[in-house]
Chains A and B, each alone.
Chain A
């Protein structure tokens, strides 16, 4: 066994200081070096998600550069990425969040066609329970297919609470994921928020 260095007040402070300084320097360096690739990877992911949720569009009109924010309430706004086909707007991808998830906030991308129908949806970031709530991801189950082509303006609001996209337990039209009603409700809530934002664009 190697001989241990005796501890004195001075050498403890010095060693901890040196260890922390070296660690901080390395981290700062790596952070700088990876900053751009990380931003790039995130942008790519966003672009991919937009492409997944709206109908085919012309790339001349960049949805990323024409992004605008829609305010829902004070300090609460959603990002909207409009797409064009020819001269007409062909769709709107709205990045919507909800804080009603089982494990905190999650983000989804909801695509609308100009008539207010949901074209497709895609999950961006979530922390829902693996094996339960994560079934809202397309890669895990086809649950989210229910939202494809969902004709939101023509949904009948049975219980009259003004919320259109709801699970069947709340008198809505959506089948919840088995044993993950909270995640399903949250997903509906995010879609609902996206729809509210969408209606504000039209005005």
Chain B
């Protein structure tokens, strides 16, 4: 697989949310607005790249049977470090994203990439994979966030585009599932035709 292939597969062919349906808990929780979705996506990307690099570095030292607990410790450490640093030096961003940071630990996308890719490939490829997968995740969250924000709150990246409250259901989790389902159906139709 070429480096470019590794990078781009995260966007469409193996997109974490739309194709593999991984990490749905943070997806539904954070995509009530486009900005929250984007922020969560970028924070996840950051952790994903770092954890992929470290997992690829230590993969040959870790006995097969304890690899999952070891990966989880590594991922959880990175998440905590990110949370502390953000709280200390970027308090404004933390105010927006703070609630969602601990959710990154339970995002199976990260453990999934550590297990399926980083534990079998070299450091550079793992970093590229983390970046591609993470940005693909961020893209998916932003798209879902935009749809839910327009339908649910009548605004786009916090700019009001029509007066009133919009359809309340799209702000809540059930609306998130409905919107996600329609987006996946649409994407499947588009990709199957080509």
Q: A11 to B80, Cβ gap below 8 A?
A: no
Q: B60 to A1, Cβ gap below 8 A?
A: no
Q: Does A99 contact B (CB under 8 A)?
A: no
Q: Does B152 contact A (CB under 8 A)?
A: yes
Complex Cα gap A108–B133 (Å): 39
Encode B57-88 as 1/0 by CB contact (under 8 A) with A: 01111111110011001101100110011011
Min CB gap B123→A, angstroms: 12
Give every chain B residue within 8 A of A26 (Cβ-Cβ): 77, 81
Give every chain A residue within 8 A of B172 (Cβ-Cβ): 129, 131-132
Instruction: Name the residue on A nearest B91 (C-beta).
Output: A41
Give every chain A residue within 8 A of B76 (Cβ-Cβ): 23
Q: B77 to A23, Cβ gap below 8 A?
A: yes
Min CB gap B30→A, angstroms: 8
From A13-21, A148-156, A161-169, A182-190, give the one contacting chain B: A13-21
Q: A45 to B91, Cβ gap below 8 A?
A: yes
Complex Cα gap A23–B70 (Å): 10
Given A19-B70, A41-B91, do A3 and B61 touch, yes or no (CB 8 Å)?
no
Give every chain A residue within 8 A of B77 (Cβ-Cβ): 23, 26-27
Q: B63 to A34, Cβ gap below 8 A?
A: no
Give the total of B residues in contact with A, Cβ under 8 Å.
34
Interface contacts (Cβ under 8 Å), in number, total 85
Q: B99 to A16, Cβ gap below 8 A?
A: no
Encode A15-55 as 1/0 by CB contact (under 8 A) with B: 11001100100110011001001100100110000000000
Q: Does A66 contact B (CB under 8 A)?
A: no
Min CB gap A129→B, angstroms: 7
Complex Cα gap A20–B66 (Å): 12
Q: Give A contacts to B, CB under 8 Å.
A: 1-8, 11-12, 15-16, 19-20, 23, 26-27, 30-31, 34, 37-38, 41, 44-45, 127, 129-132, 178-179
Q: Give B contacts to A, CB under 8 Å.
A: 32-33, 36, 58-66, 69-70, 73-74, 76-77, 80-81, 84-85, 87-89, 91, 99, 120, 152-153, 165, 168, 171-172
